[in-house]
Structure 1
């Protein structure tokens, strides 16, 4: 089990109640072990972060990026965050919200492939 900052727990709970449309759509497709029988968690605290989706069995984090992630500051923050998660032994997949909403099947297929590969 990954350690996390316990002060993040109430915030992660509130994020679960206020998911974006893209997060709702992806959650509907990954919940209840629909991806290769692997459980996913949403808005999960990991270390000093709250990640959008987390599959501990596969060591996989899936992040959905809104517009704020496409600024210079957003890109830099994401790179630092991805490096920190990578140092925890986790792999990070990023998709933008629009991609999830318009290409849901393709996004789910990529997640499926990565999960299966990481489970080997």
Structure 2
């Protein structure tokens, strides 16, 4: 079986000359997932990004995500990128293992907080005058 990427949207070029495009992950022509590929401005060559890579549950565990990531890297090489940045949720151990197997290394941590949609109301203001 052959895993390939097929563009699912137009190539977008922003005012700062960064590129982005969405792709379908396909196996023998059948869609099984997707990925978003883009560039960021960086000193020297552009920095590539791979985001929102997913493979349908029924097609996982067969190397499809790895092949899709490698194909995405090839697209980024064609866009003259010298490095690639990905973001993997800490709660996704399979994705972390895949990233490590493909040679990605941790360069930092991003902390996030879900603020929810409801307004929790006014917060008490700290009394800064009483601080030691």
| Pairwise TM-score range, normalised by the shorter structure | 0.3 to 0.5
Task: Give the number of the structure whose residues are more often strand, by fraction.
Answer: 2
TM-score, structure 1 normalization: 0.32
Point out the structure with max Rg over C-alpha.
2
Higher helix share: 1
